[in-house]
Amino acid sequence: AATPSKSYTVTLLPGDGIGPEVISVARNALQLIASIEGIEFKFKEMPMGGAALDLTGVPLPEETLSAAKDSDAVLLGAIGGYKWDNNEKHLKPETGLLQLREGLKVFANLRPATVLPQLVDASTLKREVAEGVDLMVVRELTGGIYFGKPRGFGTNENGQEIGFNTEVYATYEIDRIARVAFETARKRRGKLCSVDKANVLEASMLWRKRVMEIASEYPDVELSHMYVDNAAMQLVRNPKQFDTIVTNNIFGDILSDEASMITGSIGMLPSASLGESGPGLFEPIHGSAPDIAGQDKANPLATLLSAAMLLKYGLGEEKAAQRIEAAVLNTLDRGYRTGDIYSAGLKLVGCKEMGEEVLKSIDSKV
């Protein structure tokens, strides 16, 4: 084989439950893509989550974080499970994920919701509304009301107990998430809808002002604005109108879950979390699925599509990304289904076999 033109270090964090099963499939796919595209991956597999807790006593060991920071991209399986559910709070596997996001300084969370023609009936919406939906929610992940100060409990003038939180956004936080969103829209269909509540909230007024300002750097992207209440409605009324949506932390939390239900298949949905310069974090949106772990039943497609996002948004290897996406569609076209997306008359397979079929599609052996 030819000497690879480019070499990337990819940290793999299999984690818990079905994590190791789906990561193994993605690793094989990336390896095969590398040999076809003439690139090289140096994989570093590190413990994380419950697996790391058992091994080292903490959910995110120093070595895991520094390996992640030193790599070009990070691919995570899933973390958590019954076994650790009664742990003290600071020793929960999920704490490791928060620490990882913090350590990698990933402030932009990208979640696509695509209704694939082969799976249109999995949608919670009517076929004619769901068909052809292909949108991306870009959510601000490290600011806003979830982190704003002051926050806490107190007492009001009537002596009643109160709880309070603060929605805060600074110019730099809005500008950087806006740029990620415009870049994302540019790689897609060139349409960006910014969602806010600028008729009521000052933080949203600044949000809208800055997004409009940053838009001048992207004259090729068509920008629109929508209030969040209307956006929530439009997402189920006519989701096809959206290409890329950018919004703050709390609105994005809600809207990205709403958008994922349009597709109806949790085993199919990838995500990316991006920072300013360092490595991005890529992971399926599903959890560790302890109910089916170790049974070779997991759908590996969400992780494969996360690997595609890793190639596209993390490494800029768009052609390699398209190879994975095309192979996933081809495998579905050939009738292969894991249990979560199975319907009568199709070929029911496990995680491993699904992975092998995708590899065949990548290799164009079918």
Binding site for Mg ion (CB under 5 A): 287
Which position among 44, 146, 296, 363 bears the catalytic label? 146
SS3 content of the chain, % helix, strand, coil (to 5): 45, 20, 35
Which position among 16, 72, 253, 340 bears the catalytic label? 253
Chosen from ligand ATP, Mg ion, none, partner binding at 77 (C-beta under 5 to 8 Å by type):
none
Chosen from Mg ion, ligand ATP, none, partner binding at 140 (C-beta under 5 to 8 Å by type):
none
Contacting residues for 335 by C-beta, under 8 A, at least 6 apart:
346, 347
Q: Which residue is nearest to ligand ATP (CB)?
A: 287
Of residues 213 and 291, the one with the C-beta less far from ligand ATP: 291
Of residues 20 and 278, the one with the C-beta less far from ligand ATP: 20
Q: Is 218 among the residues known to form the active site?
A: no
Which position among 197, 243, 312, 313 bears the catalytic label? 197
Token pair, residue 66, equals 């520094």
Binding-residue pattern over the window 333 to 352 for ligand ATP, x denoting contact by CB under 6 A: -----x-x------------
Bridge partner list, 73:
10, 280
Q: Which residue is nearest to Mg ion (CB)?
A: 287
* Structure letter (DSSP) for residue 96: H
Of residues 26 and 79, the one with the C-beta less far from Mg ion: 79
Q: Is 257 among the residues known to form the active site?
A: yes
Smallest separation (angstroms) from Mg ion to the CB of 80: 5
Which of the residues 237 through 296 are near ligand ATP (CB under 6 A)? Answer: 266-267, 286-289, 291-292
Of residues 114 and 204, the one with the C-beta less far from ligand ATP: 114
Binding-residue pattern over the window 51 to 90 for ligand ATP, x denoting contact by CB under 6 A: -----------------------------x----------
Bridge partner list, 284:
270
- Residue-wise DSSP of 18-72: THHHHHHHHHHHHHHHHHHHTEEEEEEE---THHHHHHHSSSS-HHHHHHHHTSS
Of residues 168 and 250, the one with the C-beta less far from ligand ATP: 250
Smallest separation (angstroms) from Mg ion to the CB of 15: 11
Binding-residue pattern over the window 10 to 49 for ligand ATP, x denoting contact by CB under 6 A: --------x-------------------------------
* Structure letter (DSSP) for residue 299: -
Q: Is 220 among the residues known to form the active site?
A: no
Q: Is 302 in the site for ligand ATP (CB under 6 A)?
A: yes
Contacting residues for 315 by C-beta, under 8 A, at least 6 apart:
8, 72, 73
Chosen from ligand ATP, Mg ion, none, partner binding at 286 (C-beta under 5 to 8 Å by type):
ligand ATP
If residue 301 lies in a helix (H) or strand (E), which one and from where to where? helix 301-309
Q: Is 72 among the residues known to form the active site?
A: no
Q: Is 70 among the residues known to form the active site?
A: no
Binding interface with ligand ATP (CB under 6 A) = 18, 80, 266-267, 286-289, 291-292, 298-299, 302, 338, 340
Catalytic site positions: 146, 197, 229, 253, 257
